[in-house]
Chain A
Amino acid sequence: MRTACLTLLTYLRSALIILLFLGLGKGITALSGLPIPGSIIGLLLLFTALTLRVVNYQTLLPTANLLLRYMTLFFVPVGVGLLQYGDLLSQYWLAIGLSSVIGTFTVLLTTGWVYQRLAK
Chain B
Amino acid sequence: MIYFYTIATVVVFLLLKKLLAPIRSPLANPLLWSIAFFMLLFSLSHLNFQHYQDANQLFIWLLEPAVVALALPLFNQVTQIRNQLKPILISCSIGVIVAMSSGLAIAYAFTSDKQLLLSLLPKSVTSPIAMAIAQQTGGLASLSAAVVIAVGLLGALCGFSVLKWAKITNLQAQGIAMGCSAHAIGTAKAIETGKEQGAFSSLALVISGILTAVLAPIFAMIIQSL
Contact of B206 among A44, A72, A107 (CB under 8 A): A44
The CA of A68 and the CA of B149, in the complex, are separated in Å by: 19
Q: Taking A37-B128, A60-B72, A104-B151 as contacts, is the C-beta distance between A74 and B162 under 8 angstroms? A: no
Residue in A closest to B5 when the chains form the complex, CB atoms: A77
- Given A76-B13, A100-B150, A119-B87, do A22 and B31 touch, yes or no (CB 8 Å)? no
What is the CA–CA distance of A103 and B105 in the complex, to the nearest angstrom?
9
CB–CB A115/B173 < 8 A: yes
B7 within 8 A of A: no
Query: CB within 8 A of B72: which of A61, A81, A83, A118?
Result: A61
With beta carbons under 8 angstroms apart, the residue of B35, B75, B146 that contacts A89 is B146
**Does A4 have its Cβ within 8 Å of any Cβ on chain B?**
no
Q: Within the assembled complex, what's the spacing in Å between the Cα atoms of A23 and B127? A: 19
Instruction: Find chain A residues with CB under 8 A from B188 CB.
Output: 71-72, 75
| Contacting residue for B53 out of A34, A81, A110, CB 8 A | A81
Check A43 against B65 for contact (C-beta < 8 Å). no
Inside 8 A of B102's CB, which chain A residues have their CB? 99, 102-103, 106-107
- Whether the Cβ atoms of A78 and B149 lie closer than 8 Å is yes
Count residues of chain B with CB under 8 A from any CB of chain A.
109
With A100-B151, A104-B182 as given contacts, are A46 and B68 in contact (CB-CB < 8 Å)? Answer: yes
Secondary structure of the B contact surface, majority rule: helix
> Is there contact, CB below 8 Å, between A35 and B99?
no
Q: Which of A66-115 touch B at CB < 8 Å?
A: 67-68, 71-85, 88-89, 92, 94-96, 98-115
* 8 Å CB interface, B86-126 against A: 86-88, 90-92, 94-95, 98-99, 102-104, 106-107, 109-111, 113, 116, 120, 123-124, 126
Q: Beyond A75-B188, A77-B9, A78-B149, is A112–B174 a contact (Cβ under 8 Å)?
A: yes
A115 with B172: CB separation less than 8 A: yes
> A34 vs B136: C-alpha distance in the bound complex, in angstroms?
10
Task: Please determine whether B60 and A78 come into contact, CB atoms closer than 8 angstroms.
Answer: yes
Q: Is the CB of A96 within 8 A of B163?
A: no
Chain A residues within 8 Å of chain B by Cβ, number: 70
Q: Does A32 contact B (CB under 8 A)?
A: no
Q: Please name 30 pairs of A and B residues whose Cβ atoms are closer than 8 Å in the assembled complex, sorted by A.
A: A18-B65, A37-B126, A39-B63, A42-B64, A43-B71, A46-B71, A57-B75, A64-B72, A68-B72, A71-B188, A73-B9, A76-B12, A77-B56, A83-B39, A88-B142, A92-B116, A99-B120, A101-B154, A103-B123, A105-B162, A107-B180, A108-B163, A108-B182, A111-B173, A112-B174, A112-B176, A115-B88, A115-B172, A115-B177, A119-B172
Identify the B interface with A (CB < 8 A).
Answer: 9-10, 12-13, 30-31, 34-35, 38-39, 42-43, 49, 52-53, 56, 59-60, 62-75, 78, 84, 86-88, 90-92, 94-95, 98-99, 102-104, 106-107, 109-111, 113, 116, 120, 123-124, 126-129, 132-133, 135-136, 140, 142-143, 145-147, 149-155, 158-159, 162-163, 166, 168-170, 172-174, 176-178, 180-182, 184-185, 187-189, 191-192, 198, 202, 204, 206, 209-210, 213
16 further A-B pairs in the complex, CB-CB below 8 A; given A63-B69, A100-B147, A116-B168: A22-B68, A35-B132, A36-B129, A42-B67, A74-B59, A74-B66, A80-B39, A83-B43, A84-B146, A103-B103, A103-B124, A108-B178, A111-B177, A112-B91, A114-B94, A119-B172
